[in-house]
Structure 1
Amino acid sequence: MITQKAKYALRALTLLARAEPGEPIQIPDIADRQKIPKKFLEQIMLDLKRGGMVESRRGKQGGYLLLRPASDITYGEVLRLIDGPVAPLPCLSLTAYRRCEDCDGENDCEIRRVFARVADETRAVLLSTSLADAAGEVTEPAH
Structure 2
Amino acid sequence: MLSQRTRYTIRALQHLADAFGQGPVRLDAIARAQNIPRKFLTVILAELARDGIVASHRGRDGGYELALPPVDIRYGDIIRITRGSLALVPCASRNAHEHCENCLPESECRLRVLMLRLRDEMAAMLDQVTLADPIPTATIGTGVDEHA
Q: TM-score range by the shorter chain?
A: 0.7 to 0.9
Secondary structure of the corresponding residue to residue 128 of structure 1: coil
**1:140 match:** none
Instruction: Note the residue ranges of structure 1 that are not aligned, 5 or more in a row.
Output: 137-143
Residues 1:51 and 2:51 are matched in the alignment: yes
**2:29 match:** 29
Residues 1:127 and 2:121 are matched in the alignment: no
Identity %: 41
Aligned-pair CA distance for 1:20: 4.2
Q: Which has the higher contact order (CA 8 A, sep 6+)?
A: 1
Matched residue type, 1:110: R
Mapped to 2, the partners of 1:15 and 1:38 lie a distance apart of 15
Aligned-pair CA distance for 1:4: 1.3
Secondary structure of the corresponding residue to residue 56 of structure 1: strand
Deviations 1:68-102 (A, max 9, x none): 11111111111111122111122221211223344
Matched residue type, 2:100: C
Question: TM-score normalised to the size of structure 1?
Answer: 0.86
Matched residue type, 1:28: D
Pairing of 1:78-89 with structure 2 (within 5 A): 78-89=78-89
Matched residue type, 1:95: N
Q: Which moved more, 1:27-36 or 1:86-95?
A: 86-95
Secondary structure of the corresponding residue to residue 55 of structure 1: strand
**1:68 match:** 68
Deviations 1:97-142 (A, max 9, x none): 2233445543332111111121111111211111111467xxxxxx
User: Structure 1 residues 41 and 134 mapped into 2: Cα distance closer, same or farther (>3 Å)?
Assistant: farther
Instruction: Note the residue ranges of structure 2 that are not aligned, 5 or more in a row.
Output: 137-148
Secondary structure of the corresponding residue to residue 15 of structure 2: helix
Check conservation: 1:90, 1:99, Cα contact below 8 A. Answer: yes
**2:145 match:** none
Question: TM-score normalised to the size of structure 2?
Answer: 0.83
Whose helix proportion is higher, 1 or 2? 1
Pairing of 1:105-120 with structure 2 (within 5 A): 105-120=105-120
Matched residue type, 2:31: A
Check conservation: 1:90, 1:96, Cα contact below 8 A. Answer: yes
Mapped to 1, the partners of 2:37 and 2:104 lie a distance apart of 45
Check conservation: 1:47, 1:82, Cα contact below 8 A. Answer: no
Q: Which moved more, 1:116-125 or 1:60-69?
A: 116-125
Deviations 1:35-80 (A, max 9, x none): 1111111011111112211010111111101011111111111111
**1:16 match:** 16
